[in-house]
Amino acid sequence: MTLGLVTDEPRHAPVLFNEALGFMRPGVHWDGTLGLGGHAIGYLNKFPDSHLVGSDADLQMLALAKEALKNAQCLARTTLLHGNYSEIEPEANLKYDSILLDLGISSLHLDSLPRGITYRFDQPLDMRLNTQNGEPLSTWLNRASEYEIRSVIHRYGEEPAAPRIAREIIKERENKPIETTFHLTSIIRRALPPSRTAQRGHVERHPEVRTYQAFRIHTNSELEHLEKALHRIPDFLQEGGRLIIISFHSLEDRLVKNHFRSLERIAVSDPLAKSNWKQGQFQVLTPKPIVPAKDEIELNPRSRSAKMRVLEKRGENHV
Ligand X SMILES: C[S@@+](CC[C@H](N)C(=O)[O-])C[C@H]1O[C@@H](n2cnc3c(N)ncnc32)[C@H](O)[C@@H]1O
Residue nearest to ligand X (CB): 35
Whether residue 71 contacts residue 96, with contact meaning beta carbons closer than 8 Å, is answered with no
Residue 116 binds ligand X, judged by CB under 6 A: no
The interface with ligand X within residues 205-264 (CB under 6 A) comprises 225
Give the C-alpha distances (Å, rounded to integers) separating 198 from 183, 191, 194, 205.
Answer: 19, 13, 6, 9
- Look at phi and psi of residue 95 and say left if phi exceeds 0, alpha if psi is from -120 to 50, else beta: beta
**Interacting residue with ligand X among 84, 98, 123, 247 (CB under 6 A):** 84
CB of 186 to ligand X, least distance (A): 28
- Look at phi and psi of residue 90 and say left if phi exceeds 0, alpha if psi is from -120 to 50, else beta: beta
Give the C-alpha distances (Å, rounded to integers) separating 75 from 40, 54, 186, 255.
Answer: 11, 10, 45, 33
Residue 169 binds ligand X, judged by CB under 6 A: no
CB of 66 to ligand X, least distance (A): 13
Number of residues that bind ligand X (CB under 6 A): 22
Of 98 and 106, CB closest to ligand X? 106
The residues that bridge with 124 in the sheet, in sequence order, are: 180
Residue 35 binds ligand X, judged by CB under 6 A: yes
Q: Burial-class residue 294 by CB neighbours within 10 Å (0-12, 13-18, 19+).
A: exposed
Interface segment toward ligand X; rule CB under 6 A; list 103-111, 117-125, 154-162, 188-196: 103-111
Interface segment toward ligand X; rule CB under 6 A; list 31-39, 191-199, 255-263, 294-302: 31-39
CB of 31 to ligand X, least distance (A): 7
CA 308 vs. chain centroid, Å, equals 12
Residue 129 binds ligand X, judged by CB under 6 A: yes
CA 288 vs. chain centroid, Å, equals 20
CB of 68 to ligand X, least distance (A): 8
**Interacting residue with ligand X among 24, 28, 36, 188 (CB under 6 A):** 36
Residue 126 binds ligand X, judged by CB under 6 A: no
| SS3 category, 269 | coil
**How many other CB atoms sit within 10 Å of the CB of residue 32?**
26
**Interacting residue with ligand X among 23, 30, 38, 308 (CB under 6 A):** 38
Q: Which residues bind ligand X (CB under 6 A)?
A: 12, 14, 32-33, 35-39, 56-58, 61, 84-86, 102, 104-106, 129, 225
